[in-house]
A and B are shown apart, each in its own frame.
Chain A
């Protein structure tokens, strides 16, 4: 490992993160967004106070980085149908107005900042493309429901 962080504590920190924090988040997209939010936009370093207190900050940083990459690749491998269901679950968990949520996400594409650094370019493009499609599908279903009423 380039940073000299030993593997066993990183594994422990990773398990801790998985069991204590990520297990409470109901969907994969939610977990990805959460993990991306622990990354500092200015430095690209990850920080989680609880994890850094229980383990060393560099161990916590590495565990967060690994978890982020894994969450990203897992979600990118979803079929479009599964991604639509996961996005729907995420939308419900935010308790926002679905119409406003869809409008904001289609316009601002905030999921772009959830992509980890150093991932394959094609997979990153597939991820944004699939989310764009999933949003369009939910928007379409919403319009269909509106017309049906």
Chain B
């Protein structure tokens, strides 16, 4: 049926993911992915074999923990192709990464009357931190709209750049529309206009990956839990010059060089931004996730998802009254928001759930986009390396059943 072929051995991949043994057709990976046993085992090994705090290496277990914790940083540096491991900051997730930038860089550099450019398709985590900053500083926010195809209006984006924004922040892949933004071109254009560029890589990192040097972005935030890693940890890439000049985000243990009663000398990068005991097991698990993904190859994963997306589009087109939001398969990632005439997305999700199919329903953390699309909510199916066509078939059968129930 599909023109695209993928070389991924899905059957073999699926054996690595214990959750899939439940038989649930898990079509909510854009929300959080499943984790392979390699990740779970890496965390278990830490807890059972060398559980200790890091950076206090007076004994063997602590040395080992520190070594593995820092090894993940090297893996992440290579994963995004950063120049230096000092540019890789551990966070709790994409949300914290963006908050860190808005708080730490933003409070230092954004002034009254400055312009911050976002897009209507952003996740709340790439809107609210900027709103708070704008309110505090008296800065202005403008949003790039989408066109009828669900893609960002580049004409409007360029018109906004004429107004010399201070910050341009946008997503690499929309978590609803599935569109892959022209993030390289947008970054270059924003830089030419003198703005710093913050990219939300929550959906991009797991499915497309990024080369931060080639892209040239100033900050790139992503989450472990959407890329086969554990929850509770994420990454902020930042250009070293910017990070060096920024004040700390949170203060306390581990981020200091020396504390005096009157002042503190901060630790060098990256520890300056890593206050308090970190999510050690999770960071180690994330390292295993990066290994796992790179062992398979992001290109193969992307090709697999592209084939699935095309397959899903064809299958969805046979469901009367089903409407897909966003661009055609060739310009999107494996996340498809849709609705079905006469059936509320929540009812849809309930009906397919009772057939063992897990999809998301709601505003998907993008209320401004929902308003723009003129819908209170959408249903959303999303794919990853372990998704197989049979699961999409099961979803489609559930959608047909929903049509029948609500006819």
A in complex with B: no
B residues near A (Cβ < 8 Å) are none
A residues near B (Cβ < 8 Å) are none
